[in-house]
Amino acid sequence: AAGVIQSPRHLIKEKRETATLKCYPISRHDTVYWYQQGPGQDPQFLISFYEKMQSDKGSIPDRFSAQQFSDYHSELNMSSLELGDSALYFCASSPNTGANEQFFGPGTRLTVL
């Protein structure tokens, strides 16, 4: 079965620009999570969605927003990019809320110049 798909895989932006990251969850997975991983750091939770509604929020800057669409794919929108936003951004999906493992995508490497 296909895994989580993320696009683009690499993205280079200038400071103050905007970026949109896309995530396509595993088929029949209705919960999507976004994580940010800086160099040498562990993944930090940003935000999650269940059945197209925001279900939990972590340390996500106000400059970032996200949503989940009717086909369950999700987009992370990032505005007024800063140098410190350079990181790997992972999307993960799980079948439903509760004690279920999350399956991660390959990530989008964002570089802000």
Partner 1 sequence: EDQVTQSPEALRLQEGESSSLNCSYTVSGLRGLFWYRQDPGKGPEFLFTLYSAGEEKEKERLKATLTKKESFLHITAPKPEDSATYLCAVGTNFGNEKLTFGTGTRLTIIP
Return the amino acid letter for 66: A
Give the start-end residues of each E strand in the chain.
5-7, 10-13, 19-24, 31-37, 44-50, 53-57, 64-68, 74-78, 87-94, 103-104, 108-112
User: Min. distance of Cβ 93 from partner 1 in angstroms?
Assistant: 11
User: Contact with partner 1 (CB under 8 A): which of 19, 72, 107, 112?
Assistant: 107
User: Contact with partner 1 (CB under 8 A): which of 56, 63, 69, 77?
Assistant: 56
Strands 64-68 and 10-13: unpaired
State how far the alpha carbon of 58 is from the alpha carbons of 25, 34, 46, in Å: 20, 10, 5
User: Min. distance of Cβ 90 from partner 1 in angstroms?
Assistant: 5
Residue 50 makes contact with partner 1 by CB under 8 A: yes
User: Contact with partner 1 (CB under 8 A): which of 41, 77, 80, 111?
Assistant: 41
Residue 25 makes contact with partner 1 by CB under 8 A: no
Residue 105 makes contact with partner 1 by CB under 8 A: yes
